[in-house]
Chain A
Amino acid sequence: MSKDLNNICNPTIFEKVFRTYSKDLKRFLYFRFGDMESCEDIMQDTFVKLWDNCSSVNYNKVKSYLFTVGNNLFLNIKKHEKIVREHQQLKVNDSTYESPEFLLLEKEFQLKLEKAIAALSERQREVFLLNKIEKKKYKEIAEMLGLSVKAVEKRMHGALKELRNKIGNI
C-alpha cells in the first residue's frame, strides 16, 4: 500500500506530484533564467522526463530531481542558442540574460507583490484573482458573484490602489 502511494508511475501520484511542485519549478526556473516563455515549456518537458524515469526516481527526492532536470534542460537550450547565434553571427539583444542583480530585485519585488495580494481584503482578492488568474471579464464576475459591474469595478480599482500602496515607491 505504502509502496503504491510512493510510486510515481501511478498516474494519480504523478498528477499529485505535478500539482505540488510544478508552480515551484516554474518559479525556480523563472528566477534562475528570467525567460517566462521557455519556463513553461521546460517545466512541461521536465515532467515528461520524470514520467519516463518514474520507476527509478525516489518519491522522497522527486523535488530535487525535478529542479535538477529543469535546470539542466534550460542550460542545454541556452547552450544550443549560443551556438546557433555564433553561426549566424547575429547581434542579439541579451534581454533573456537578465543580470543576477536585476533578477534578485525582480524576485524581491515579486515576493512583495504576492504578499500584498494575499493581504487584500477577501472581496478585493476574489475579484482580482478571478480577473487575473481565471481570466474572467468584469461582467462575468458580476454575474458569478451576483453584483453589479460597477461594484466589481470598484473592488478592482480598490485592489489595484491597495497594491500600489503596499509596494511603495520604486
Chain B
Amino acid sequence: MKENKVHNDSEYFLAAWSEGKISAEELKKYVSKEDFKAYMELEKGIHLYEKLEAPLDRSFQKIQEKIKYKSKARVRKLYVNWFTSIAASIVLFVGLYSLLGNNTVLLNTGTGEHKNVALLDGSEVILNSKSEISYNKRTWKKEREVTLKGEAYFKVQKGSTFTVKTINGSVTVLGTQFNVISRDNFFEVVCYEGKVSVKNNISSVILLPGNSVRVLNGEIIEDHQVKEQSPSWILGESTFKSIPLKYVINALENQYNVHFDRSLIDESVIYTGSFNNKNLEIALATVFKATNIKYKMTTANIILLENN
C-alpha cells in the first residue's frame, strides 16, 4: 500500500518536486547525479524567471501608491512656488515702472517747429523740426545719454562722457558742440567745437572742429569741411552739401507741412545749397530752380515734381 503511494508520487516526481511535495533530497533518489545538478540549476533559473516575468499589475499598483503619497507632499512646494512667482512679478512690475514709466523724459517737435531744451547738467539741445529726444532722469547722473530721432544741435557742458544714441550709430563726446542728423538711413554728424567720436556697428571715426561725417546706407563717408560756427538751420536756413536730392526733399517735408510726388524725377541727383525755413515759396524756388525741376501744387499740400 505504502509502496504504491510512493510509486504514485514518483510517476511525475518532477511535478511533485516542483510543487514542493518532495524535497531535493528525495529527488536525488529518482535522478542521476548529473541530472540532479542540472535540476538544481534549473530551479534557480525558473525562480529568477518567475521574478523577471512576474505579472505587472502589482508593481504598477505600488507605483501608483508611491506617486499618490509623493504628490501629497509636493502640494506645499507648489504653493511656495506660487508665492515666489507672485513676489517676483510684483518686484518686476515695480522695477519696470520706476525704470520706464516714471523716469524717461521725452521731447519732440512737429513740422516746422524748433525747440530749445536744457538738460539736467546745463547742456543745451536745439531740436530741429520733426525730431525727438529722450533720456532717463534716474540714470542721468551716472551716464549722460540721450536717444535721438531726427536732427538736433548739441552744446554739451564739460563733464563725463556724453552719448547720443541713434538707430544709425552713436556719438560720444566729453564736452563740445555738434550737430546730429539721423533720419531713416541717413546719418550725419558735424563737429563745431571740441572732439567727437562717431560709431556705428561697422566702424568709428573721431571728428575735429570743422569736420563732418556722413553715413549713407551703413557706409561711413568722411566729408566736407564746415566753416560756420553753428548749423545754419538754427538761423532759419537749411544748408546741404553734396547730398542726394532725396534727403533735401525729405528735409523740406519735415520743415513745411507738405508732401512731394517724386515719381517723375531722379532723386539721386547730388545737391549743394540751402533753403529758407520760413517761406515755402522761396525755399521751393531755391531748391528746384537750381536742379531744373518744375513744381506744381496739386491738391492739399501735395506738390508734383516734374523734370523740365
Instruction: Mark interface residues in A17-33 (1 if CB within 8 Å of B CB, else 0).
Output: 01100110011001000
A40 and B42: CB pair below 8 A?
no
Residues in B whose Cβ lies below 8 Å from that of A157: 11-15
Residue contact B59 to A117, C-beta cutoff 8 Å: no
Q: Does B19 contact A (CB under 8 A)?
A: yes
Are A113's CB and B56's CB within 8 A? Answer: no
Residues of A within 8 A of B37 (CB): 169-170
Please name the residue on chain B nearest to A48 by beta carbon. Answer: B66
Asked whether, in the complex, the Cβ of B50 is within 8 Å of the Cβ of A132, the reply is yes
Q: Closest B-chain residue to A138, C-beta based? A: B19
Could you tell me the distance between the alpha carbons of A133 and B15 in the complex, rounded to whole angstroms? 15
**Chain B residues numbered 15-51 whose CB sits less than 8 Å from any CB in chain A:** 15-16, 18-19, 34-35, 37-39, 41-42, 45-46, 48-51
Residues of B contacting A52 with CB < 8 Å?
70
Looking across the interface, which residue of chain A has its beta carbon closest to that of B34? A169
Count A-B pairs with CB separation below 8 Å: 101
Knowing A113-B45, A154-B15, A157-B13, the reply to whether A22 touches B59 (Cβ < 8 A) is yes
> B216 CB to closest chain A CB, in angstroms?
51
**A156:B14 contact, CB within 8 angstroms:** yes
C-beta contact mask, B47-87 vs A, less than 8 Å → 1, else 0?
01111111110011011001100100000000000000000
One of A22, A48, A168, A170 near B70 (C-beta < 8 A): A48
Q: Which of A15, A26, A44, A156 contacts B12 (CB 8 A)?
A: A156
Distance (Å) between the CB of B34 and the closest chain A CB?
6
Asked if A156 and B18 make an inter-chain contact with CB atoms under 8 angstroms apart, the answer reads yes
Inter-chain contact B60/A15, CB cutoff 8 Å: yes
Indicate whether A160 sits within 8 Å of B18 (C-beta atoms), given known contacts A36-B51, A48-B70: yes
Instruction: Give the contacts of A42-69 with B (CB-CB under 8 A).
Output: 43-45, 47-48, 51-52
A102 at the interface (CB under 8 A from B): no
Q: Are B51 and A44 in contact (CB under 8 A)?
A: no
Q: Are A153 and B60 in contact (CB under 8 A)?
A: no
A97 within 8 A of B: no
A102-137 interface with B by 8 A CB criterion: 109-110, 113-114, 117, 131-134, 137
* B16 / chain A contacts, CB cutoff of 8 Å: 153
Footprint of A on B, CB under 8 Å?
11-16, 18-19, 34-35, 37-39, 41-42, 45-46, 48-56, 59-60, 62-63, 66-67, 70
A-B contact pairs, 16 of them (CB 8 A): A19-B56, A26-B51, A27-B52, A40-B59, A44-B66, A51-B63, A114-B49, A133-B50, A133-B54, A138-B19, A154-B15, A156-B12, A156-B18, A160-B15, A160-B18, A169-B37
Beyond known contacts A48-B70, A131-B18, A153-B16: 5 more, CB 8 A cutoff: A134-B55, A153-B12, A157-B14, A163-B46, A169-B38
